[in-house]
Amino acid sequence: MIPNRLNKFFILIVCIGFVFVFSSCDNSLKEGTIICTQLAENHESNSLNIQNYLNYFSNAKIVAFNAEKQSGFAQILTEEFFSACAPSISFDGESMVFSGQKNKNDVWQIWEMNLTNLKINGITNSSENCFDPAYLPNGTVVFSKRKTTNVEDNFYALFTCKLDGTDLMQITYNPNQKFGSSILRDGRILTISSQIYPENQAPIFVVLRPDGTKEELFYKSEFNATIVSSGIETSEEKIVFIESDSENKGSIVSINYNRPFHSYENLSSGISGYFNSVYPITHEKFIVTYRTSSKETFALYEFNPVTKLLGNKIYKDEKNNLVQAVVVLKKERPKKLPSEIILKNETGLLVSQNINFLDIKDIANKQSIAIAEKVEIEGMKNYREVIDVEEDGSFYIKVPANTPFRIKTLDKNGNIVKGPSGWIYLRPNERRGCIGCHEDKEQSPENVQPLAVRKEPISIFVQKKENNQIKVDF
């Protein structure tokens, strides 16, 4: 009996030994692990601000922390890279995409890391910098990529591709910098957009479908603040992000998905100091990167959005800033949106219900606005066409796909009534509608058939291109 018991004890010890040995070899990043970008303390401060994204991060590392242990141990995940940043976790919590450059003068590419074995695969092989990747629910990634066709085209557009880098497709075409994309649960891409041509404008949040269609304004600061981080949707249908005021003081802001324009809430107004990134875990726990003053480095903290108080300090490195924090979590997969685009179709259609549409503010303020009778459709490089609108103020146009244009409304003498609008583009075969010019984004259309759609659409730029009368550089 005794030898038998000893045998069993011996076997148990061996088993425990095996478990210990193999578990210590387990490199996988467990659920709850915090991953962020680590930057040297003396890194130029303006690169911590998305307004100056073009400088991007130099000599940055992606590091991981076990939030439960709070051991102070930062595991560097991108040793083989000169610089890496912008980690984004897959919906199943098993992999991560990020942007990185292997060597100092390399082009920034998009990479994917398996969080179980920490193996890294390249996704893009681009001759232009690629930044800020995010997983799309259909197994592709969206990211920002520099486009340098012309001087006025020198901006970061959004692109998508498969995880093996194939099927690369540009999906945004207006001259706006697009950065910091994330995916909403409804399947659309939420991205920071900033017009750069002909003049710079403040960053705003726009949403668009993964094929680039139906791009529209989602949020614009009413306080002249600047959006400085990606917007992340919480399980309570809120979008949280960091907004920076004129003193570069970042605050945690929350807006409701259901009503983003009028649900602004500054969650950190009672806290002095600077926030740089926010990542929601539960309805009462966010992971934030924060510093008390500009003399400090950004450190990892917990934040309670219900009490609006900072929680535990998770990790602070006196020599390095910690920014762009994300957490390894399984999340509900967003909807896979179908695509209406047909690439062989070279045009898109746009209908506007009434260019003289008055919104609630106009009526409440009893503003009388001049009646517009024409619209001018202006392409880049000063190509423009003027068309008459119908009696009901509607117009219906066919424009070349993937070509930015903007619209002004004109009175009968050709004087500008409103405009120009922001840059619009249509994807191949896209059909879009708008209620009017500078419409209230909370207004749905009146159930009236626009007179303009009782006729064929007016071709803008298309005919000229087809007849080769004018060579338009689209």
Write down the least CB distance from residue 259 to other proteins, Å: 5
Among 4, 258, 368, 413, binds other proteins (CB under 8 A): 258
Note whether 277 binds other proteins by CB under 8 A.
no
The verdict on 349 binding other proteins (CB under 8 A) reads yes
Tell me how far apart the alpha carbons of residues 244 and 250 are, in angstroms, rounded to a whole number.
4
Chain-centroid distance, C-alpha 32: 23
Residue 288 near residue 252, CB atoms below 8 Å = yes
Residue 227 in contact with residue 204, Cβ under 8 Å? yes
Task: Report the residue number, 119 or 431, with the smaller CB distance to other proteins.
Answer: 431
Residue 19, H or E segment = helix 2-24
What is the length of the chain? 474
Q: Which is nearer to other proteins, 296 or 440 (CB)?
A: 440
Whole-angstrom distance, CA of residue 180 vs CA of residue 454: 41
Give me the least distance between CB of 208 and other proteins, in Å please.
10
- Contact (Cβ atoms closer than 8 angstroms) between residue 192 and residue 230: yes
Question: Cα dist. 45→48, 53, 220, 381 in Å?
Answer: 6, 12, 24, 36
Handedness of CA 184, 304, 265, 132 (dihedral sign): negative
Q: E strands, 148-273, where? A: 155-162, 169-170, 176-183, 189-195, 204-208, 216-219, 226-227, 232-233, 238-244, 250-256, 265-266
Report which of 70, 74, 82, 76 is spatially closest to residue 107, judged by C-alpha positions.
82
Query: With binding defined as CB under 8 A, does residue 455 bind other proteins?
Result: yes
| Contact flag: residue 236 with other proteins (CB under 8 A) | no
Question: What's the closest the beta carbon of residue 260 comes to other proteins, in angstroms?
Answer: 7
Q: How far is the CB of 298 from other proteins (least distance, A)?
A: 32
Out of 94, 153, 265, 359, the residue judged to bind other proteins by CB under 8 A:
359
- Specify the residue for token string 């950004």: 298
Q: Does 443 bind other proteins (CB under 8 A)?
A: yes
| Of residues 186 and 411, the one with the C-beta less far from other proteins | 186
CA distance 161 to 96: 15
259 binds other proteins (CB under 8 A): yes
Cα 152 from Cα 198, distance rounded (Å): 8
Does 246 participate in binding other proteins (rule CB under 8 A)? no
449 binds other proteins (CB under 8 A): yes
* Residue 346 touches other proteins, criterion: CB under 8 A: no
Asked if residue 453 binds other proteins (CB under 8 A), the reply is yes
The answer to whether residue 337 forms part of the interface with other proteins (CB under 8 A) is: yes
Tokens of 104: 């100092």
Contact between 360 and other proteins per CB under 8 A: yes
Q: Binder to other proteins among 30, 102, 162, 214 (CB under 8 A)?
A: 214
The correct pick among 180, 203, 260, 404 for binding other proteins (CB under 8 A) is 260
340 binds other proteins (CB under 8 A): yes
The span from the CA of 427 to the CA of 410, in Å, is 26
Q: Does 283 bind other proteins (CB under 8 A)?
A: no
Rounded to the nearest whole angstrom, what is the least distance from the CB of residue 400 to other proteins in the complex?
17
Token code pair at residue 99: 């942007």
Q: Establish if 465 lies at the interface with other proteins (CB under 8 A).
A: no
Tokens coding 301: 């903290």
Q: Taking the complex as a whole, how short is the minimal distance between the CB of residue 39 and other proteins, in angstroms? A: 35
Cα 378 to Cα 171, 386, 409, distances in angstroms? 21, 9, 11
Q: Which is nearer to other proteins, 349 or 387 (CB)?
A: 349
Q: How far is the CB of 403 from other proteins (least distance, A)?
A: 19
Binding flag, residue 163, other proteins (CB under 8 A): no
Binding status of residue 440 toward other proteins by CB under 8 A: yes
Is position 262 an interface residue for other proteins (rule: CB under 8 A)? Answer: yes
Size of site (CB under 8 A) for other proteins: 47
Phi, psi (degrees; rounded to nearest 5) at 139:
85, 15
Span 375-434, contacts to other proteins by CB under 8 A:
396, 431-433
Give the separation between CA 19 and CA 14, rounded to whole angstroms.
9
> Of 139 and 270, which CB lies nearer to other proteins in the complex structure?
139
Q: Considering only residues 149, 166, 444, 467, which one is a binding residue for other proteins as defined by CB under 8 A?
A: 444
Cis peptide upstream of residue 198 (ω within 30 degrees of 0): yes
Which residues in this chain contact other proteins in the complex, by CB under 8 A? Answer: 186-187, 214, 216, 237, 257-263, 335-340, 349, 351, 353, 358-360, 363-364, 396, 431-433, 435, 440-450, 453-457
